[in-house]
């Protein structure tokens, strides 16, 4: 019989919210990064990874393009670019 209703942990990963982006996406320049982790800390989608300087990157499968990573980066090493840019 159907139920009780239980969801498996972390199963929201099946939902690829990257398709929500319409205008802009972040570009991680990986030039002046100081590994302060602030982009990772601020990302509402929990989709930024990285360990050392100039290794940070986001998972475009989930990134909704909000731009807070670019806004918080103290080195302006993340820029928002047009969604259809070839990068």
Residue ranges in contact with another protein by CB under 8 A: 1-17, 20, 38, 41-47, 49, 59, 61-62, 64-68, 70-72, 80
Give 46's Cβ-side CA count (13 Å radius). Answer: 4
Nearer to another protein, 16 or 31 (CB): 16
By CB atoms closer than 10 A (0-12, 13-18, 19+), residue 18 is middle
Taking the complex as a whole, how short is the minimal distance between the CB of residue 62 and another protein, in angstroms? 4
Nearer to another protein, 1 or 84 (CB): 1
């Amino acid at each position: 019989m159907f139920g009780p209703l239980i969801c498996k942990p972390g199963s929201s990963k099946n939902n690829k919210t990257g398709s929500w982006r319409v205008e802009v996406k972040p570009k991680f320049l990986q030039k002046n990064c100081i590994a302060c982790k602030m982009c990772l800390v601020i990302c509402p989608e929990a989709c930024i990874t990285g360990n050392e300087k100039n290794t940070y990157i986001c998972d475009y499968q989930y990134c909704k393009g909000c731009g807070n990573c670019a806004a918080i980066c103290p080195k302006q090493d993340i820029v928002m670019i047009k969604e259809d840019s070839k990068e």
